[in-house]
Chain A
């Protein structure tokens, strides 16, 4: 790994920097720099409208969906150049949350399985941010056990009729389209009876209900399907091959992790540098200094693990299951840091109003959001299974439903 830019990279960085300097929405910077983990509060500005405007501007100037081929709205730049863009975009990247799932997961799946006309119709508008996409995978009875999903798709003329329920769908309430995995055959083993589609989120029969979360936000939704009709032309991949298609999506999720996971370390360091304890400045507290050093080491481990991933990508390798390590380390660490940060603040740590709490309540937001990080996109437990089985080569976990037809698997909630 060499972290210095070569000549081409330096030229690219200069180009990025100069464009950002001329075009970035600087009026939003004070809000973006204070943005709490998983929240976007732009004061009187409309967050979604500002996010879309910035996205469109980037798209028009050729800075959106950098990894994608040019014919679908991308720029086909190298992984290293993507990293440079990410480093330079900095705080403005917080405006990108609406588009992450579309760019990182739905788009690549559509690209791999849709026909040419569909790709030309949907991908550029996804890239430009004019249309938002969501991913309808998890269900009330199938989270970690995704292949146990039961939302049914039945053929009806040239269409499919969808009935069932999805949950934890990020952004369903503002999405225009979604990719949807369904069960089309319950008589075969659970992984074999699945089929993937994409659909218009405004289709009749869809009912979207935001979930009230432990952190007071509602980014996730429940999505109910009641006789929702999808044309067969919107099927992605063959009937019964939905699991294979889903793996394409999930593999892309792993690839898109390339950037670094938030850890809370910079926020904690800022807090420690500004907070006064009864005994003096927090940063001089020995017990805290020890912890800061420990977190700094772990954060750097994550940083360089992620850099190693980028190096692998730039060599054209596909990152393997070891990419699971990042979230497993960052999630619990974020929680630990937030807890320690609140300890430091005594009762003031209980304030969640950004106007009153230290560092605009960013660490309070991290405390309340971090449990979800340890669950979403693969729980800590599932990640440990992946590392045990696929990185360390340990014997597989016992799977009671192995080889059973889906309809014969005992069910619960």
Chain B
């Protein structure tokens, strides 16, 4: 592996303290959280106390005002340790930035302290039953009525869906328009007419709560509009590079961690009188994986540097998401095979990683959508 240059000492110190925190507060409980289908809310508050939530929130809003590399460290450690149930990445890298960038003073004062302390868990409700990758086709409406909006519709596959206290709902304030009729509206859990469906039973990410959300004549004040009316789609597009970078960073960390674990495993596991690491097949497979991960690491770190300068464009982010998540899937599959039967036991991290990796190629835009984005840019259509 080529030495990484993207991080400074401060980031590595932050990583060390985060690691200790997760070892003590999350690792021992994750199995139970898988059974519960969600994590313990108290972890959010403990993480908030230690400053692990939303590092980039500006000091003026009560945050640390740190750079995005601190978020990246959190993403890397979560993924590397297989803590796939903890929704900090969505909160810190995706939803809270919408509030920071598009919220007004009143909204900042009302919600930001809770977002930082872990008392307010956030979610963003985009996908609907029947619309996956096509965000322009959403059907949930928010119709103005005096000083309020009345929201009707349903959302699905919402990460943090059960725990969320504050949800950014993507809806049509003008159903006669496509993208330009889209707005982002804040809905608090407990608002009359708003209901959370059951925790969905998923193929992986067993400890992460993912839900349907229902809106039946939900009345919220117009003050809950985030940014300007009709600008929702544009806001979503602006945040996509960071969202996809978040996924790419997690994919890399997971793949690297599983490779490291597999390297250890093949040196310990013996068959036919010698460690399976001595077999050429094992060496070829691991060499291939290591070479590919080395190259991909350089690319992802470069994307992170570009993003720090504000220069990560949507197409490059799409490339990063496409390549890293596909590579993650391939690497984990090969590593599972090298574990033999043990790779199929749920208690081995590689078995969980296999299940968890699948959705990475789907959410945040499928691999096919990434290819369309790259293709359109290439062919100018």
Query: Closest approach, in angstroms, between the C-beta of B82 and any C-beta of chain A?
Result: 13
- Give the distance to chain B from A19, nearest Cβ to Cβ, in Å: 39
Q: Is A108 an interface residue (CB 8 A)?
A: no
* Interface residues as binary, A212-253 with B (CB distance below 8 Å gives 1, 0 otherwise): 111010001000000000000000000000000000000000
Chain A residues 139-176 with CB under 8 Å of chain B are 141-145, 148, 167-168
> Taking the complex as formed, is B313 at the interface, i.e. its CB lies under 8 A from any CB of chain A?
no
Binds A, one of B11-19, B59-67, B199-207, B296-304: B199-207
Number of B interface residues at 8 Å Cβ cutoff, please give it.
Answer: 46
A residues less than 8 Å from B204 (CB atoms): 350
Q: Are A412 and B202 in contact (CB under 8 A)?
A: no
* Chain A residues whose C-beta falls within 8 Å of the C-beta of B201 in the assembled complex: 351-353, 356
> 1/0 per residue B264-282: CB within 8 Å of A?
0000111111110011010
A50 CB within 8 Å of chain B: no
Residue of B nearest to A384 (CB): B281
Contacts A343-B366, A350-B157 known; A213 to B346 CB distance under 8 Å? yes
| Min C-beta distance of A383 to chain B, whole Å | 12
Q: How far is the CA of A244 from the CA of B368 in the complex (A)?
A: 52
Q: Separation in Å of the B90 CB from the closest CB of chain A?
A: 14
What 0/1 pattern do residues 179 to 203 of A give for CB contact below 8 A with B?
0000000000000000000000000
Q: B337 to A379, Cβ gap below 8 A?
A: yes
With beta carbons under 8 angstroms apart, the residue of B132, B278, B329 that contacts A346 is B132
Is A112 among interface residues, defined by CB-CB distance under 8 A? no
Residue in chain A with minimal CB distance to B361: A343
B340 x A144 contact (CB < 8 A): yes
Q: Give the nearest-CB partner of A144 in chain B.
A: B271
CA distance A38 to B360 in the complex (A): 26
Q: Which residues of the partner chain B approach A376 to less than 8 Å between Cβ atoms?
A: 341
Contact B340 A379 (CB under 8 A): yes
Contact B133 A346 (CB under 8 A): yes
Contact of A368 among B156, B203, B275 (CB under 8 A): B203
If A148-B272, A399-B272, A399-B273 touch, does A347 touch B363 (CB 8 Å cutoff)?
yes
- Interface contact A348-B341, CB-CB below 8 Å: no
Complex CA–CA separation, A335 to B354 (angstroms)? 12
CB distance from A41 to the nearest CB of B (A): 14
Is A278 part of the binding interface, using a Cβ–Cβ cutoff of 8 Å? yes
B345 within 8 A of A: yes
Describe A's contact surface by its main secondary structure: loop
Q: Does B273 lie within 8 Å of A404, measured CB to CB?
A: yes
Is the C-beta of B374 less than 8 angstroms from some C-beta in chain A?
A: no
Q: What separation, in Å, do the CA atoms of A119 and B345 have in the docked complex? A: 36
Of A168, A352, A399, A412, the contact of B341 (CB 8 Å cutoff): A168
Q: Is the CB of A413 within 8 A of B270?
A: yes
A342 in the interface (beta carbon within 8 A): yes
- B368 closest partner in A (C-beta): A343
B179 at the interface (CB under 8 A from A): no
- Tell me how far the C-beta of A30 lies from the nearest C-beta in chain B, rounded to whole angstroms: 22
Closest to A361 in B: B203
Q: Within 8 Å of chain B (Cβ to Cβ): is A211?
A: yes
Q: Does A5 contact B (CB under 8 A)?
A: no
Rounded to whole Å, the gap between the CB of B161 and the closest CB of chain A is: 13
* Contact A343 to B127, CB < 8 A, known contacts A143-B271, A379-B337: no
Q: How far is the CA of A376 from the CA of B359 in the complex (A)?
A: 26
Across the interface, name the chain A residue whose C-beta is closest to B350: A214
Contact A351 B200 (CB under 8 A): yes
- Report B-chain residues with C-beta under 8 Å of the C-beta of A374: 337
19 contacts between A and B (CB under 8 A): A143-B340, A148-B272, A214-B346, A278-B134, A343-B362, A343-B366, A343-B367, A347-B132, A371-B336, A371-B337, A375-B337, A375-B341, A381-B337, A400-B273, A401-B272, A401-B273, A402-B273, A412-B275, A413-B270
CB-based closest 7 A-B pairs = A401-B273, A346-B132, A412-B270, A400-B273, A145-B271, A214-B351, A400-B274
Interface residues of A (CB under 8 A from B): 138, 141-145, 148, 167-168, 211-214, 216, 220, 278, 335, 339, 342-343, 346-353, 356, 364, 367-368, 371-372, 374-376, 379-381, 384, 397, 399-402, 404, 409-413
B interface with A by C-beta (< 8 Å): 127, 132-134, 137, 156-157, 200-204, 268-275, 278-279, 281, 329, 333, 336-337, 340-341, 343-347, 351-352, 354-355, 358-359, 361-363, 366-368
Given contacts A347-B157, A375-B343, 12 further A-B contacts (CB under 8 A): A144-B272, A167-B341, A213-B344, A214-B345, A214-B346, A339-B329, A343-B366, A353-B200, A356-B201, A372-B341, A397-B272, A400-B273
